[in-house]
A = this chain, B = another copy of it.
């Protein structure tokens, strides 16, 4: 069976399906469709209907890119039954207790079982804790009569998508690949070499899982460190912006900026690693201290704003709600948390150029304004450093509020011109 599957992939005769058509799955589908017959699968019927008409309302890929590919789109798992390769690119979030929530992955494994696992290569691209893939393989074996590396194959190759980054893309970044055995690894390699420039082979899946999950943990701890410096500077009544600029004149100082750290990667991955560490008897000290500090920043800013404004029911405009700069992704955004905290005491309106009706419904924001227009705001909080805000300039932003409106410029978009920053 291996040689047959290998030949199909080599000769571009394999049917490749992708489960999950988001930030990871859609660009992947575009690339694979240039070489293989593909099917894109997602549970979101609206999304599938749009994709069938070659429209991606989230603009992850362009409509033009979609029009060029032949791929099928479906919300029915049975359409994937003839697939040779199934790639899972589902999000791996945390639950309300910040524990890994792998329901999405398990649900799709169950669905794959219903359409017959036999002779398929299953590839996972989602971030997980080390050992998770082994659990998935066990699940597949325990719920079928099939054996790994004999009846089906498993590969793990973590995505490294950086939304908005035009330099480091699916095609240009180095790709870590791993497999349940040498054969699986080979299949993954042949497939991904079609569009990936550089491949790096991991000893086994666990090494690849660990390498992936630590990347964002490192970013998290570095921003947490800078946030802690900002908190100390605040207490010292000195400017963290100035301090970081000075420190950055040293050749090896790492220039991170203070701010709200949420999102579906940096805000989540540390919990995955800490979960696994705890399970094997290691209580993580660094990883969680970073996450906890970053989680606390929203509260710190809300309190600081309350202290500045003193009177209740002040009028606040919150500019920026997505989880990061120039992004239309609002998952796990700390700016949304900030909005919720502030509106308990104040009259808060929110503006983000990347918001739309569909997203507003999902995140349950009622006081969003569609266009920036003058009102008697006591304070304007710039929460995200969108390029559009930078381009507006501080003078135009100040004019939106009442005379002498206070500017809380969390990301220091306008250093030296705002009243407060982190």
**A residues bordering B, Cβ < 8 Å?**
130-131, 160, 168, 173-174, 176, 198, 200, 202-204, 206-208, 210-212, 214-215, 217-219, 221-222, 224-225, 228-229, 231-233, 235-236, 238-239, 242-244, 246-247, 249-254, 273, 276-277, 280-282, 284-287, 289-290, 292-293
Contacts and interface: CB of A to CB of B under 8 A. Distances in A.
In the A-B complex, the 4 residue pairs with the closest CB atoms:
A211-B246, A174-B249, A289-B289, A211-B247
Nearest to A178: B246
Contacts of A206: 236, 238
A228 B160 contact: no
Given A203-B239, A215-B253, A218-B254, A208 B130 contact: no
A51 to B, nearest CB: 29
A250 B160 contact: yes
A208 to B, nearest CB: 7
Contacts of A289: 285-286, 289
A251 B169 CA distance: 11
Contacts of A292: 285
B130 A215 contact: no
A176 to B, nearest CB: 5
Question: Which of A173, A210, A219, A286 has the most C-beta atoms of chain B within 10 angstroms of its own C-beta?
Answer: A286
Contact of A282 (B214, B231, B242, B244): B231
A246 B176 contact: yes
B285 A293 contact: yes
A232 B273 contact: yes
Contact of A286 (B224, B233, B239): B224
A212 B246 CA distance: 8
